[in-house]
A = this chain, B = another copy of it.
Amino acid sequence: MRELARTFQAFNAYDDEHIRQLGLTAPQFDVICTLGNTPGMTMGQLAEKTLVTKGTLTGIIDRLERKGLVRREVPPANRRCFMIVLTTEGDRVFEEVFPAHIAYLKQRFSKLNEQELEEIRLSLRKLRQLFQPIQN
């Protein structure tokens, strides 16, 4: 039981350190990954996917906008909402930084063989289903 919390803590520390080196915070990185390879998303959709309240998301998007990584577009059909879209620079970050981050994590995984990886993958999937009843 504690195993899960400790593993998570260790992973998170490792993960977070690299994200910060890239000049982003974990929630900001999460938003960029969520927006990557999509035509954009409203604040509401984005808040739901990233598990953040809408009020909190406003601040995160403000900061990403200030960094020039996303922009708010007003769809003519419904002027109450925004489409949050990656800018060219934001897309570049997604295309370059995201794989770099994966590669960074892969360094550690390379110590395992294929069978071990498959077992871990299976275990994680089971765990995730346990804690994430609502699947996307």
Contacts and interface: CB of A to CB of B under 8 A. Distances in A.
Interface of A: 1, 3-15, 51, 102, 105-106, 108-109, 111-112, 116, 119-128, 130-132
A127 B10 CA distance: 9
Q: How many copies does the complex hold?
A: 2
Given A120-B123, A123-B119, A123-B123, A128 B10 contact: yes
A51 B9 contact: yes
A124 B109 CA distance: 13
A7 B123 CA distance: 10
Given A108-B130, A130-B109, A121 B11 contact: no
Contact of A127 (B11, B125, B132): B11
Contacts of A108: 130-131
A3 B125 contact: yes
A1 B123 contact: no
A12 B111 CA distance: 26
